[in-house]
Amino acid sequence: MSDEHGEFDPEMFEDVEIVDVQVVTDHYAGVKRAASIVGDLRAELRKEGFTREETFALVQAYWSAEMGLLE
C-alpha cells in the first residue's frame, strides 16, 4: 500500500500509545428514528381525517414537546 509520501510502514505505529479515547455518538440514527416517528404520526393523522394544516400543527406540537419547549 502506498500513499503520496512513499510506502506505508505499519511498523512505524507499533510503539504508539493511545492516551485518550472519545466516545462516538451516532446522531444520524436518532434523527432517522425521529423522522420515522414523525412520518408515522403524520400518516396516521391524515388517515384519521385531519387536514394538512391540522396535521402540520399537531406534528409541530409533538416536536415542541419532544424538544422540551412546552411546559
- Determine what percent of the chain is predicted with pLDDT higher than 70: 85
Cβ atoms within 10 A of the Cβ of 45, count?
19
pLDDT band at residue 2 under the 50/70/90 scheme? very low
User: 58 near 50, Cβ under 8 Å?
Assistant: yes
pLDDT band at residue 1 under the 50/70/90 scheme? very low
pLDDT at 71: 57
Residue that has been written with the C-alpha cell 391540522 in this structure:
54
Question: 5 — phi, psi (to 5°)?
Answer: -105, 10
- 34-71 pLDDT, tens digit per residue, is 788 889 999 999 999 999 999 999 998 888 787 776 65
| Burial of 55: CB neighbours in 10 Å, binned 0-12, 13-18, 19+ | middle
Counting Cα atoms < 13 Å in the Cβ hemisphere of 28 gives 1
- 6-27 pLDDT, tens digit per residue, is 677 778 888 878 888 888 877 6
